[in-house]
């Protein structure tokens, strides 16, 4: 679809990932005229950009898919227990085809500005292609991990070899066969890509600043009986996931790690380790709130690392000791720790002596030079706020979102931010988002927003805005809940700690997917408590 110079739509949706796709579908059903803007050349969001070797979802395939249409969830078959990136992208494209979404999508177009006009209650969006679009609603489905981040080493431009970021992996793929490769970082993306890169590279050197806890995925081809069992019980299972804490069904044990004998504790942890995946964190109900409980689980995993990695010094370097398990995003891997037993893999600790510079031939750590053919940045994202604050968003009275969020993001329910009427955030900061199964949280937000717009249409309302005092209360609540857990003790991207100068604020809402949904539903049922709703601007003026 090509934009005309100035177009008018009911809703402008920014982003064609799972959030933007479903939002378009829901709003079309309400009869709204919509346009989706997407920087990439296709749909899929995260799964469009993150094509690095080994990229895979760590929520089980049967749970990581849309639940809104029975035919969609019945007709699609996943080939593995945990789907790889190509298959998830294929799924996103399948949904786009089935729902004929692309005709309202404009690709290779990045929204650069959005301005609210309080006189008309309309947003004007501008894009890097020069498009100007006027919309009643501006819906930011921009993703939580969509602005890739590279550190700013001196000499970044000097390196003569190839450089890559896991979050911007070339579509044509990269052949690292026989190369001397560096991977910087040991987060989820690195932990998935390192075992695959090690198989191709002549030599792989991993630069680790903070070791991470990782649990084996135990990924397999999809067992037919397992798929069938899910497909016949989808309604119940989806309902249970929506009411759960994380949006993922993982059989949580509802008792404390301190309530059982040491023998029992080890047996439970071993059972979860053998089952694999993030369900390890559901071994007990207090792993993220009780330091002693957490210590037991953390030491269990450290001992596993010690048993898997042959060289004791490397094993000790890989064993995380500086943060409670789970407070930095828990990783899920296939043969990550075993990869360090390969002769062609070296681990370099850059915690005490950081990477000093990039050179023409590689990296400098202190006085030591390392030469490479390719350097892979697995250095993460400016998470949750980075994409939104890079768009020049101006609300009432020209207030800039970037300025408003200077000391940390402020939202009411993670859905709207006061002063920015008619702008909805899909899985915004202050909502469970990244602490949950993203598709469950996306569907909940999209449904809430679509229902809200239907409510407004039915009553000829034209403008909705979060109340600032309600927003202050919500921000306080998000903080209070977070500080009852161990999460804020880690230097994680949840806290903004990975971006120099970013305020240290716990950004997602940790109160749980189920109870959060209930709160959102109650707010709607009470006539959108905490929001101001208004008729069209001209009508309001006439009534005064």
Does 89 bind ligand N01 (CB under 6 A)? Our answer is no
Between 19 and 380, CB nearer to ligand N01: 380
Per rule CB under 6 A, is residue 495 in the interface with ligand N01? no
Burial of 33 (0-12, 13-18, 19+ CB in 10 A): middle
Cβ distance to ligand N01 smaller for residue 125 or 174: 174
Cα separation, 300 vs 479, in Å, equals 30
3-state SS assignment for residue 489: helix
Q: Is residue 163 involved in binding ligand N01 (CB under 6 A)?
A: no
Task: Tell me if 15 contacts ligand N01 by CB under 6 A.
Answer: no
Least gap, CB of 259 to ligand N01 (angstroms): 30
Contact pattern for ligand N01 over residues 338 through 377, marking x by CB under 6 A: ------------x----x----------------------
| DSSP string of 374-404, one letter each residue | EEEE---B-TTTHHHHTSEEE-GGG-BHHHH
- 151 vs 530, which CB is nearer to ligand N01? 151
d(CA 435, CA 154): 34
- DSSP class of residue 186 equals -
Min CB(190)–ligand N01 separation in Å? 6
Q: Are 176 and 201 in contact (CB under 8 A)?
A: yes
Q: Which residues are CB-contacts of 307 (< 8 A; sequence separation ≥ 6)?
A: none
Among 42, 151, 161, 530, binds ligand N01 (CB under 6 A): 151
- Each residue 270-289 as x (binds ligand N01 by CB under 6 A) or -, in order, gives --------------------
Spatial separation of the C-alpha atoms in residues 380 and 188, rounded to whole Å: 9
CB of 97 to ligand N01, least distance (A): 24
Stretch that binds ligand N01, among 204-212, 230-238, 296-304, 337-345 (CB under 6 A): 204-212
Phi, psi of 372 (to 5 degrees): -140, 160
The number of residues that bind ligand N01 (CB under 6 A) is: 28
Q: In whole angstroms, what is the distance from residue 374 CA to residue 350 CA?
A: 19
Q: Does 379 bind ligand N01 (CB under 6 A)?
A: yes
Helices 438-458 and 18-29: crossing angle in degrees, nearest 10, is 30
- Asked whether position 496 contacts ligand N01 by CB under 6 A, the answer is no
Q: Judged by CB, which is closer to ligand N01: 249, or 418?
A: 249
Q: Which is nearer to ligand N01, 58 or 104 (CB)?
A: 58
Angstrom CA distances, 17 to 23, 96, 254, 527, stand at 10, 10, 34, 30
Q: Is 490 in the site for ligand N01 (CB under 6 A)?
A: no
At closest approach, how far in Å is the CB of 380 from ligand N01? 2
Which residues lie below 8 Å from residue 65, measured CB to CB, with a gap of 6+?
72, 73, 76, 78, 91, 439
Instruction: Provide the minimum distance between the beta carbon of 480 and ligand N01 in the complex, in angstroms, as a whole number.
Output: 24
Residues 421 and 463 sit within 8 Å (Cβ to Cβ): yes
Please identify, using beta-carbon distances, which residue of 316 and 349 lies nearer to ligand N01: 349
Pairwise CA distance, residues 276 & 271, whole Å: 9
Query: In this chain, which of 66, 280, 493, 509 binds ligand N01, going by CB under 6 A?
Result: 493
Indicate which single residue of 51, 329, 445, 517 sits in contact with ligand N01 (rule: CB under 6 A): 329
Smaller CB distance to ligand N01: residue 358 or 446?
A: 358
Q: Is 411 in the site for ligand N01 (CB under 6 A)?
A: no
**What sign for the dihedral angle of Cα 81, 56, 253, 263?**
positive
By CB under 6 A, is residue 219 in contact with ligand N01? no
Spatial distance between the Cα atoms of 238 and 171, rounded to a whole number of angstroms = 33
> 380's torsion region: left (phi>0), alpha (psi -120 to 50) or beta?
left
Residue number, nearest CB to ligand N01: 187
Q: Of the two residues 84 and 511, which places its CB atom closer to ligand N01 in the complex?
A: 84
Residues contacting 178, CB < 8 A, separation 6+: 200, 201, 202
Nearer to ligand N01, 106 or 192 (CB): 192
For residues 34 and 81, which CB has a smaller minimum distance to ligand N01 in the complex? 81
Tell me if 380 contacts ligand N01 by CB under 6 A. yes
User: CB-wise, 69 or 357, nearer to ligand N01?
Assistant: 357
What are the angstrom distances between the C-alpha of 90 and each of 24, 99, 226?
A: 19, 14, 22
Task: Kindly tell me which of 106 and 441 has the beta carbon lying closer to ligand N01.
Answer: 441
378 belongs to the binding site for ligand N01 (CB under 6 A): yes
Report if residue 58 touches ligand N01, rule: CB under 6 A.
Answer: yes
From CA 376, how far away is CA 158, in angstroms rounded?
A: 15
- CB-based contacts of 387: which residues, under 8 Å, 6+ apart? 142, 143, 146, 147
Q: Per rule CB under 6 A, is residue 12 in the interface with ligand N01?
A: no
What residue spans of 437-508 are helical by DSSP H?
A: 438-458, 468-482
Q: Which is nearer to ligand N01, 381 or 531 (CB)?
A: 381
How far, in Å, are 164, 315, 321, 500, 506 from residue 150 at the CA level? 10, 27, 25, 11, 22
Residues between 428 and 487 with contacts to ligand N01, criterion CB under 6 A: 434
- Between 92 and 131, how does the x/- string for binding to ligand N01 read (CB under 6 A)? ----------------------------------------
Asked if 384 interacts with ligand N01 (CB under 6 A), we say no
Site for ligand N01 in 174-193 (CB under 6 A): 184-190, 192
How many other CB atoms are found less than 10 A from the CB of residue 392?
14
- Binding-site member from 210, 256, 285, 457 for ligand N01 (CB under 6 A): 210
Q: Which residues bind ligand N01 (CB under 6 A)?
A: 56-58, 145, 151, 166, 184-190, 192, 207, 209-210, 329, 332, 350, 355, 378-381, 434, 493, 498
């Amino acid at each position: 679809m090509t934009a005309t110079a100035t177009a008018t739509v009911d809703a402008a949706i920014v982003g064609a990932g799972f959030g933007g796709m479903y939002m378009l579908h829901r709003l079309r059903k309400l009869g709204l005229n919509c346009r989706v803007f997407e920087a990439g050349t296709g749909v899929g969001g995260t799964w469009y950009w993150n094509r690095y070797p080994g990229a895979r979802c760590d929520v089980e395939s049967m749970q990581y898919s849309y639940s809104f249409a029975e035919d969609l969830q019945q007709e699609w078959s996943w080939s593995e227990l945990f789907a790889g990136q190509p298959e998830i992208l294929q799924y996103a494209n399948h949904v786009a085809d089935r729902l004929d979404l692309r005709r309202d999508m404009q690709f290779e177009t990045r929204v650069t500005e959005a301005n609210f006009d309080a006189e008309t209650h309309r947003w004007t969006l501008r894009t890097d292609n020069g498009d100007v679009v006027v919309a009643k609603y501006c819906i930011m489905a921009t993703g939580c991990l969509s602005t890739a981040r590279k550190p700013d080493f001196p000499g970044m431009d000097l390196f003569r070899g190839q450089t890559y970021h896991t979050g911007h992996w070339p579509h044509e793929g990269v052949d690292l066969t026989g190369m001397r490769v560096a991977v910087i970082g040991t987060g989820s993306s690195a932990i998935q890509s390192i075992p695959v890169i090690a198989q191709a590279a002549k030599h792989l050197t991993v630069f680790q600043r903070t070791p991470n806890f990782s649990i084996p995925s135990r990924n397999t081809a999809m067992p037919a009986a397992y798929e069938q069992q899910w497909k016949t019980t989808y309604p119940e299972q989806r309902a249970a996931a929506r009411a759960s804490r994380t949006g993922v069904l993982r059989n949580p044990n509802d008792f404390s790690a301190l309530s059982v004998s040491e023998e029992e504790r080890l047996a439970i942890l071993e059972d979860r380790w053998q089952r694999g995946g993030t369900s390890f964190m559901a071994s007990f109900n207090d792993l993220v709130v009780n330091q002693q409980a957490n210590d037991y689980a953390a030491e269990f995993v450290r001992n596993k690392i010690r048993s898997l990695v042959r060289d004791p010094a490397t094993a000790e370097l890989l064993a995380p000791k500086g943060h409670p398990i789970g407070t930095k995003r828990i990783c899920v891997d296939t043969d990550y720790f075993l990869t360090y037993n390969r002769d062609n893999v070296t681990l370099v600790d850059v915690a005490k002596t950081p990477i000093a510079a990039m050179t023409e031939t590689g990296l400098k750590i202190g006085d030591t030079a390392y030469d490479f053919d390719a350097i892979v940045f697995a250095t993460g994202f400016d998470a949750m706020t980075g994409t939104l604050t890079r768009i020049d968003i101006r609300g009432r009275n020209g207030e800039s979102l970037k300025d408003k969020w200077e000391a940390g993001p402020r939202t009411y329910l993670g859905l709207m931010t006061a002063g920015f009427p008619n702008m909805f955030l899909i899985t915004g900061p202050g909502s469970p988002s990244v602490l949950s199964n993203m598709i469950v949280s996306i569907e909940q937000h999209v449904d809430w927003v679509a229902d809200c717009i239907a409510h407004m249409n039915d009553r000829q309302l034209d403008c909705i805005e979060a109340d600032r005092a309600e927003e202050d209360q919500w921000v306080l609540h998000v903080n209070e809940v977070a500080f009852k857990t161990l999460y804020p003790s880690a230097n994680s991207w949840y806290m903004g700690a990975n971006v120099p100068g970013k305020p240290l604020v716990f950004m997602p809402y940790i109160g749980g997917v189920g109870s959060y949904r209930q709160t959102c539903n109650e707010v709607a049922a009470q006539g959108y408590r905490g929001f101001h709703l208004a008729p069209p601007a001209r009508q309001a003026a006439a009534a005064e």
